[in-house]
Chains A and B, each alone.
Chain A
Amino acid sequence: MSSPVLNIIASAISDSIRAGTPLLLATLGEVYTEKSGVVNLGIEGLMSVGALAGFAITLQTGNYALGLIFAALSAALLSSIHAFVCVHLRSNQTISGLALAMLGMGLSSLFGKPYVGLPLKNNIRPISVPILENIPLIGPTLFRQDVVVYVSIMLAIALWFTLFHTRYGISIRAVGENPASADSLGISVSIVRYFCTVLGGSLAGMAGAYISLGYTPGWNENITVGRGWIAVALTVFTFWNPLRSLVGAYLFGGIEAMQFRLQPMGIPPSMLTMLPYIATILALMVGTRSRFRKRLGAPKALGVPYEREE
């Protein structure tokens, strides 16, 4: 294969990975939240808050690591409201999640006003991995990325391993499948659900910060443009499996990245923006055919508040 063609492919894949990284982080968080039995529809709001917190802190301190940490903390704080409403108040998770989405978007729009359009000097930049970056195709796509990309890939693997091959993972899945029997085994349903909801929130916050610090550095109202909802969809699309989320996020990221490449060829961007949503609906339709049902992985107690029988 000639090298110009190889270069185009490499840069397309590389773009897909970059575009897919915020989706990946948010989806990984939502997978954990939902595996514990809590639906969080507020991802879009949590991402917005994280994007703003990350941007504001990085602008003040010049340190994007601090920005990412504060993004995670602020979104964790906001998602703990959702955890409280779902776990302690045993209330409607759908409504609470939608409320969180509105609240997060509103708060970031208000407090972000002074930051609109400010330039960021210390944005997240790619770091090449020596030697490995020279491997044809794989080098430029995988080893000339930034640190968040590397960390999120490792995180996907670690979270997959934890969920399916450790004691902690079994506890989380037990709470999401059958909280009553998990409870009788001495697992605290409340603690697990709190932990997973807040973990999910902080990952959504980091996902948002990656957008404002790395993917498209800068702050603007509505910077997340619906990626939070795509993450909710991806969680279902990848059937609650962190490794499949890795593939799914890059696939959807690829669709997003393609918009800029296909637009000059006369394919309207709105048609491509539509694709992830249609793909999710189709995947769900195919995925629920009985022969797949066993492998689906949807937590049985998803969205159902737990109340101990006394």
Chain B
Amino acid sequence: MKVKFERRGAASARLVALSRFLSVLLAFPITSIVFLAYGTNPVKALVEIFGNVFGSWFGICETLVKSIPLILCGVGLTVAYKAGIISIGAEGQLLVGAIAATWVAIYSGVSSPLVLPLMFILGGAAGAAYAALPGILRAKLGLSEIIITLMLNYVAQNLLVWLVTGPWKGKGEWGFPQTDKFPDYATLQAIPGTRIPYVMLTMALLSIAVLYFLLFRTKLGYEIRVLGDNPDAAKFAGMKITRLIIASMMISGFMAGLAGVGEVAGIQQRLKRGISPGYGFTAIIPAWLSNLNPIFVLPASILVGGLFVGGDIIQISLRLPFGVVNVFNGTILILLASSEFLVKYRPVLRT
């Protein structure tokens, strides 16, 4: 008797959900082995991470702080991925969004009531423009968006470093590579007792609804989905492929740009190195974990956001490096890639 794998037709939603759930669940025993190999009691480490993250008011609030940029980048990425465009560029788009917002806050000379709206508009636009470039190169020249977005992340990162160590370096910052603090009218209020900017929380939740509506209830969303499922069919139906690719990239970039504005205006209140511990890069996980459905980006982002907070906590309590978070993320992602197999193929017993 032999087990063979046959291609399935369309997989049921339940099977997809099950495979995603199993990917996350299996990550625990696997990372436990890693903890054991390092000589840390895995149960103690996991309790330390998740007990503190999801079991305390502080942990929950901090998880939300870190989930917000993941949600914004994640829902944006679902749009690009739905169109079949594999963007890895949310990190760079987030950073240019933050840079644009910083320019508005400190250098534009715009007076107070207009500053915040303008920061969001320009920040989002900068992210969208930065995402349009790989979109255009992909649509017009057929260049791999994977490579281009990856490269642009590093360009943005170095641009930011150049700004905060050079022309934008703050006057009163004792040589730290960061800008001056934003004026009060250019910062976002946090919910009292937390670091959660309520504007960003609203925006993140709203973006889930808006992008769900866009993807599943509008003509543009329909065309994006057709393009991703079957590019030939999209071409045959007379859809404007070039415009669809660029539009889906720009939506994705706009969301990442907003996340960048939120980080500088809400959390850091200045531009500096390390405003993002890899939110845009890590947002790939919630996007895929959600099976490209904006609604499920929410729980997936909370999980990954919780891991970020857990990483901070065990750095102090167990003296483990923050890199542990990457072990978790990498394991979840590799299991996620592997689980695609079960979604695509069914085992068949043959005698």
Chain A interface residues toward B at CB < 8 A: 39, 41, 45, 81, 85, 89-92, 94-96, 98-111, 113, 221, 226, 229, 232-233, 236, 268, 270-271, 273-274, 277-278, 280-281, 284-285, 288, 307
Q: Please, which residue of chain A has its CB at the minimum distance from the CB of B151?
A: A277
B187 in the interface (beta carbon within 8 A)? no
Cα-based distance from A85 to B340 in the complex (angstroms): 10
CA A274 to CA B141, docked complex, whole Å: 23
Known: A95-B284, A113-B321, A271-B158. A103 touches B338 (CB 8 A): no
What's the minimum C-beta distance from A194 to chain B, rounded to whole angstroms? Answer: 16
**Please, how many angstroms separate the alpha-carbon atoms of A229 and B157 in the complex?**
14
* Cβ contact within 8 Å between A285 and B143: yes
B166 neighbours in A (Cβ, 8 Å): 268
Q: Are A270 and B338 in contact (CB under 8 A)?
A: no
B139 at the interface (CB under 8 A from A): no
Whether A99 contacts B330 by the Cβ 8 Å rule is: yes
- A99 contacts B165, C-beta separation under 8 Å: no
The answer to whether B284 touches A98 (Cβ under 8 A) is yes
Q: Are A280 and B327 interface neighbours, CB within 8 A?
A: no
Partner of A111, one of B38, B141, B148, B344: B38
- Please give, as numbers and ranges, the residues of chain B lying within 8 Å of A94 by CB-CB distance: 86, 88, 146
How far is it, in angstroms, between the C-alpha of A168 and the C-alpha of B318 when the chains are bound? 50
Contact of B147 with A by CB under 8 A = yes
Q: Cβ of A103: which chain B residues have Cβ within 8 Å of it?
A: 326-327, 330-331, 334
Asked if B341 is at the interface of the complex by the 8 Å CB criterion, the answer is yes
Q: Are A109 and B340 in contact (CB under 8 A)?
A: no
Q: Are B327 and A229 in contact (CB under 8 A)?
A: no
Residues of B within 8 A of A (CB): 7, 34, 37-38, 86, 88, 137, 141-144, 146-148, 150-152, 154-155, 158-159, 161-162, 165-166, 284, 288, 320-334, 336-338, 340-341, 344
- Smallest CB gap from A89: residue in B: B341
**B288 partner residues in chain A, CB cutoff 8 A:** 95
Complex partner residue of A102 from B142, B150, B333, B338, CB under 8 angstroms: B333
B158 in contact with A270 (CB, 8 Å): yes
Check if A95 sits within 8 Å of B333, measured CB to CB. yes
Most A CB contacts (10 A, CB to CB) among B154, B162, B288, B323 go to B323
- Is there contact, CB below 8 Å, between A233 and B284? no
Q: Which of B159, B321, B325, B334 contacts A99 (CB 8 A)?
A: B334
Identify B326's interface contact among A106, A229, A270, A271, CB under 8 A: A106
- Given A85-B338, A103-B331, A271-B162, residue A284 in contact with residue B147 (CB < 8 A): yes
In the complex the two chains form, is A226's CB within 8 Å of B333's CB?
no
In the complex formed, the residue of A with least CB distance to B37 is A111
Q: Is the CB of B323 within 8 A of A105?
A: yes
* Contact sample, A vs B, 8 pairs, CB 8 Å cutoff: A105-B323, A106-B327, A106-B330, A110-B38, A221-B323, A277-B152, A280-B147, A284-B144
Q: In the assembled complex, how far is the CB of residue B271 from the closest CB belonging to chain A, in whole angstroms?
A: 14
Closest to B324 in A: A110
Q: Which of A41, A98, A268, A277 contacts B154 (CB 8 A)?
A: A277
Q: Quick check: A232 and B330 within 8 Å, CB to CB? A: no
How far apart are the CA atoms of A91 and B288 in the complex, in Å? Answer: 13
In the complex with contacts A107-B327, A109-B326, A110-B321, A100-B154 CB distance below 8 A:
no
Q: Which residues of the other chain, B, contact A104 by a CB distance below 8 angstroms?
A: 330
CB distance from A159 to the nearest CB of B (A): 22
| Among all A-B residue pairs, the 8 with the closest Cβ atoms | A109-B323, A106-B326, A103-B330, A102-B330, A99-B333, A106-B327, A99-B334, A270-B162
Task: Compute how far the CA of A113 lies from the CA of B331 in the bound complex, rounded to whole angstroms.
Answer: 20
